[in-house]
Homo-oligomer: A and B are copies of this chain.
Amino acid sequence: MTASLSPDMFDAACPTTVMPFQIGDKWTAMVVLCLEGGPRRFTELRVPLRTVTPKVLSATLRSMERDGLITRFAYDENPPRVEYALTPLGRSLLTLVAAARTWCTDHLDDLLEARAAFAARD
């Protein structure tokens, strides 16, 4: 079985929020990361994505489903159970997300330094 997702999976002050990348909508890349280890349920995703509202998360998921990045499977059970999983297409984003994250960690200091320098002389 897959381990549960940590509430601390995404740092609230994560440097990547400062960085000039976006894959899909605001939460798309994080959802991809959350699904890397296997299928997840709606509420399960809300744990690491602590501040996302249900409305926005469902919109994100539907848009990702629409684009073929994830599948949505609703079990015919009560209480309801729905599982989201990466498609091969969604999985193909992982390398790109990794590349973007690498760029961010590699160059965060440069960017922050540039901002400080710019603020100083203007």
Contact = CB atoms under 8 A, between A and B. Distances in A.
Interface residues of A, number: 28
Interface stretch (A5-13, A50-58, A99-107): A99-107
Prevailing SS type, chain A contact patch? helix
Given A92-B103, A96-B99, A107-B89, A67 B24 contact: no
Contacts of A24: 20-21
A74 interface: no
A111 B117 CA distance: 42
B110 A89 contact: yes
19 contacts: A21-B22, A21-B23, A21-B24, A22-B23, A66-B114, A66-B115, A67-B114, A67-B115, A68-B111, A68-B113, A68-B114, A68-B115, A89-B107, A89-B110, A92-B103, A92-B106, A92-B107, A96-B99, A96-B100
Interface of A: 20-25, 28, 65-69, 89, 92-93, 96, 99-100, 103, 106-107, 110-111, 113-115, 117-118
